[in-house]
Structure formats: C-alpha cells, structure tokens
Amino acid sequence: MMYETPIFEKKNVLVTGGAGFLGSHLCEKLLADANVICMDDFSNSSIQNIDHLLQYPNFEFIRYDVTSPIDLSSFEELDKFKVQFQGVQEIYHLACPTSPKNFEHLKIHSLWANSKAMLNTLDLSVKYRAKYVFASSSVVYGSVSEDHVFFKEDDEGKVNHLAPRSCYDEGKRFAETCVDTYRQVYNVDAKIARIFSTYGPRMRLDDGLLIPDFIISAIDGKDVVIYGDEDLEQSLCYVSDMIDGLIRLMRSGPNVSLVNIGSDEKVKMVDVAHKIIEMTGSLSQVRFEQPLAFLTKKGMPDLQRAKEILGWLPLIRLSDGLQQTIDYTIASKEMLRFGGNYS
C-alpha cells in the first residue's frame, strides 16, 4: 500500500503508447502536474510526436514493447522519479496498433496488445495500487443498424470473433474483460474509456486515416476519396477534448468504471471533404469508391454518463479542429519533403 500516495512532490504517471497520436497529447497535458513516463516501441508511432517533450525534466521516454513483462525498477533513467520508493500512481494504457494501412502485418502485434500487454499493465496496477485507464474502442459495440445508431455503455455488442479484423475488434472486448476481472479480483481502480473517432494534429500522414488523407489529397490537388457513398457519416472528436475526457475519467472515483468518450454530433464525410477542400483553397474533386474491407460503419456515443458523472462534453468546433489539423499536416508534409524523419 506504500505506493498509493506520492511521497514526493509529483505523482508518477505511466503512459503506454505515449509516442502515438493520443498518447503524445496526453503526455503533454499531464506534464503540468506529474512526472510522466512515456513508453512506446514505435510500431505505430513516431519520435517526432514527443521530441518537443524530451527537454522537460519531469518527462522520460523509454523505448519498450509492453507486450513483454514490465519491471520499472530495471530502468535506471527512472531513478530520478524515485519509482523504487513511490512506484506509479496512474497508468494510461493506450498502446495498440490502429493503422488501417498497416493493419494486415500488425495483426499479431494487435492481438498481443489486447492480451499480453493488458495483463502486464494491469499487473503493474496491482503491484503499485495505481489507478488505471484503458483506451478501448467503439468497435466493441459491433454493427450499426438504422434503428440503433447511438450506443449506451450497457449495450451489448456483437462482434465476429473469427473475422479478419477480430484481433482488434474482439481483442478490445477481451481487453475490457481483463480490466473488469482485475477490478473484481484485485480491487484495483481500473477504468475503461470507449473511444469514438478522434482527429487532430499528430495523426500519422501515411496510414490511410480519413482526415489526414482528405487533407493531403486536397493539398496535392488530387481527388479526395471517400470509401462509401454520400450518406456515409460518423462522429469526429477533436483530440484536446478526448484527452480532457481521459484525464477526467482517471480522476473519477472507483465507482466509475466505463464511459463513452467522443462526439455525439453526426457529420457527413462528404461535407467534411468539401470543407477541407475549401479551407485549403484546393481545386480537388470528391470521388466515391467501394468501402474497404477493414473499415467498419461506426456508431455514435450516448454521452449521458460522461456528461453527468465526468462533467465532460466535447467543446471544439469542427471548423476549428480541422484548421489546426490542416496547419499541422502542411508543416509535417514540408518536413517530410526536406528529408525529415517521421517514423
């Protein structure tokens, strides 16, 4: 029990997948009042996302694959955080490949991230009596139907556990079972964030992700491709709102174990595409193609629990979020053109 309260000035927080899109923004936000241990193996992330954080004395990056057992006392660079005396107080487990483009050859890594890595990070939570937040996904709800678009946390999803995507979709369901089982057996304060579509700066530009692909195509004057038809719609939550939601979930009491986080405003992808074309001053056209095999039709989050229990709701307007993302994409694309390293 000696680890539950920080002995020294700041709490120690571990973020797995900390060099990824969400992870890097989370690390940046946590630095205001915590020592941040960022752990990542770069299988689906980039040093560029965190290079601006390396200068901070209360930030430490460790290149490590969390599908292997984690012994924080073995890393000498963490001595400055007195981990051997106060452990860690919070663990955010975000490490998991999410790349549509690289999905096929990261299947085993995805499977391990949703199994081995779950047990390794939850074991740390037990060891240090640390609060724990797992970044799950809206895919656990399964398919969307015309009469069931908005999902509540107590909805039971249906996922094909033998499909090409099951290492991720069914994997997230198993991962949630791990979290809840550790809650029951070890009485740890472990929580599940069901994350819906999120966008913003630091999304990888070469991964087949919707918003970056739209922006790059518009900048290059190429057709903006929508894999679907004019009715294709989904929610889009800006990254700063998502990070605020994750932190609020971590700070909530032990009675809070599962919350949807995302935008409950539906937007048509064709409208987003035209907006990006307009904002970039592009002459691109929108083109529709057949849906890709790995893309699933996504539902919307019912946010009643997030609003009532966390006092959270998304605040950033789509136009503002898109502008930030466009600015970042243009800058990053220029860096790649001049030989910068992105991966």
Active-site residue, selected from the candidate residues 92, 168, 182, 238: 168
User: Phi and psi at residue 132, in whole multiples of 5°?
Assistant: -140, 130
Q: Is the pLDDT assigned to residue 3 strictly greater than 80?
A: no
Q: Identify the pLDDT of residue 4.
A: 52
Which whole number is the average pLDDT over 289-305?
Answer: 83
Contact 235, 301 (CB under 8 A): yes
| Residue 328 falls in which region: left (phi positive, over 0), alpha (psi -120 to 50) or beta | alpha
* Confidence tier at 101 by pLDDT (50, 70, 90): low
* Confidence tier at 98 by pLDDT (50, 70, 90): confident
Contact 61, 54 (CB under 8 A): yes
* Confidence tier at 2 by pLDDT (50, 70, 90): very low
Q: Identify the pLDDT of residue 343.
A: 34
- Per the DSSP assignment, residues forming a β-bridge with 300 are 150
Q: Identify the pLDDT of residue 63.
A: 97
Contact 89, 71 (CB under 8 A): no
Lowest-confidence region among 29-43, 80-94, 153-167, 229-243: 153-167
Q: Identify the pLDDT of residue 7.
A: 60
User: Is 328 labeled as catalytic in the residue annotation?
Assistant: no
* Confidence tier at 5 by pLDDT (50, 70, 90): low
| CATH number given to 11-201+236-264+296-315 | 3.40.50.720
Taking all residues of the chain, what is their mean pLDDT, rounded to a whole number? 91
- 170 half-sphere exposure, CB direction, 13 A CA radius: 11
What ranges do the domains of the chain cover? 11-201+236-264+296-315
Which whole number is the average pLDDT over 326-339?
Answer: 75
pLDDT digits (tens, 9 = 90+) for 214-228: 999 999 999 999 988
Report the distance separating Cα 304 and Cα 312, nearest Å. 9
Q: Identify the pLDDT of residue 309.
A: 97
How large a percentage of the chain has pLDDT more than 90? 75
Q: Identify the pLDDT of residue 210.
A: 85
Q: Is the pLDDT assigned to residue 339 strictly greater than 50?
A: no
| Sequence-ordered alpha helix ranges (H) in 83-227 | 83-86, 107-113, 116-128, 166-186, 210-219
Which whole number is the average pLDDT over 259-282?
Answer: 97
Which whole number is the average pLDDT over 29-54?
Answer: 95
DSSP 187-242: ---EEEEEEPPEE-TT--TTS--HHHHHHHHHHTT--EEEES-TT-EEE-EEHHHH
Q: Is the pLDDT assigned to residue 340 strictly greater than 60?
A: no
Q: Identify the pLDDT of residue 6.
A: 54
Q: Which helix (H) or strand (E) holds 11?
A: strand 11-16
pLDDT digits (tens, 9 = 90+) for 137-163: 999 998 887 778 899 999 988 888 988
* Confidence tier at 1 by pLDDT (50, 70, 90): very low
Q: Which helix (H) or strand (E) holds 59?
A: strand 59-63
Q: Identify the pLDDT of residue 149.
A: 87
